[in-house]
Amino acid sequence: MKTLILTNEYPPHVYGGAGVHVEYLTRELAKFCDVEVRCFGQQESHDGGIQVHGAGLDKTGWSAPESLHSVFGALRRCLSFNTRDIDADLVHLHTWYSHFGGILAKLNYGVPLVLTVHSLEPLRPWKREQLGGGYDFTVWLEKTAIEMADAVIAVSEGTRRDVLELFDVDENKVHIIHNGIDPEEYSKVNRPDVLTKYGVDPGKPFVLFVGRITRQKGIVHLVNAIAHMDPAHQVVLCAGAPDTPEIASEMNEAVGRVQAERKGVFWIQEMISNPEKIAFYSHADVFCCPSIYEPFGIINLEAMACETAVVASKVGGMVEVVVDGETGLLVALEQADESPFKPLDPEKFERDLASAVDRLMADPELRASMASAGRRRAREEFSWESIARETHALYQKLVH
Q: CATH number, domain at 280?
A: 3.40.50.2000
CA angle centred on 78, ends 248 and 165, rounded to 5°: 70
Contact between 144 and 107 (Cβ < 8 Å): no
Same domain as 92, residue 20: yes
Same domain as 203, residue 170: no
- Mean pLDDT, to the nearest integer, of 104-127? 94
- Mean pLDDT, to the nearest integer, of 33-48? 93
Same domain as 390, residue 377: no
pLDDT greater than 90 at residue 17: no
Same domain as 352, residue 228: yes
Q: How confident is the model at residue 125 (pLDDT cuts 50, 70, 90)?
A: confident
Same domain as 269, residue 206: yes
Computed over every residue of the chain, the mean pLDDT equals 94
Q: How confident is the model at residue 337 (pLDDT cuts 50, 70, 90)?
A: low
Q: Helix 99-109 crosses helix 134-148 at what angle (to 10 degrees)?
A: 40
Question: Quick one: pLDDT at residue 383?
Answer: 87
pLDDT greater than 60 at residue 205: yes
Largest interatomic CA distance in the chain? 63
- Mean pLDDT, to the nearest integer, of 208-222? 93
CA distance 327 to 320: 11
In a domain, 41, yes or no: yes
In a domain, 245, yes or no: yes
In a domain, 185, yes or no: no
Same domain as 346, residue 264: yes
Question: Quick one: pLDDT at residue 73?
Answer: 97
pLDDT digits (tens, 9 = 90+) for 241-297: 888 888 999 999 999 999 999 999 999 998 899 999 999 999 999 999 999 988 888
Nearest alpha carbon to residue 158 among 345, 294, 17: 294
Contacts of 115 (CB under 8 A, 6+ apart): 92, 93, 99, 102, 145, 146, 149, 151, 152, 153
In a domain, 130, yes or no: yes
Same domain as 207, residue 144: no
CA distance 331 to 309: 14
Same domain as 246, residue 155: no
Which of 20-24, 131-135, 305-309, 382-386 ranks highest by mean pLDDT?
Answer: 305-309
pLDDT greater than 80 at residue 339: no
pLDDT greater than 70 at residue 58: yes
CA distance 234 to 218: 19
- Into how many domains does the chain fold? 2
Same domain as 155, residue 201: no
In a domain, 160, yes or no: yes
Q: How confident is the model at residue 165 (pLDDT cuts 50, 70, 90)?
A: very high
Same domain as 276, residue 364: yes
pLDDT greater than 60 at residue 400: yes
- Range of the structural domain that residue 337 is part of: 192-381
Element holding 234 (H helix, E strand): strand 234-240
Same domain as 270, residue 121: no
In a domain, 12, yes or no: yes
* Alpha helix stretches (DSSP H) within the chain: 17-29, 69-83, 99-109, 128-131, 134-148, 157-166, 192-197, 219-225, 245-261, 274-283, 298-305, 346-361, 364-381, 384-399
In a domain, 79, yes or no: yes
Same domain as 202, residue 152: no
pLDDT digits (tens, 9 = 90+) for 352-396: 999 999 999 999 999 999 999 999 999 988 989 989 999 999 999
Determine the residue type at 208. L
CA distance 138 to 132: 11
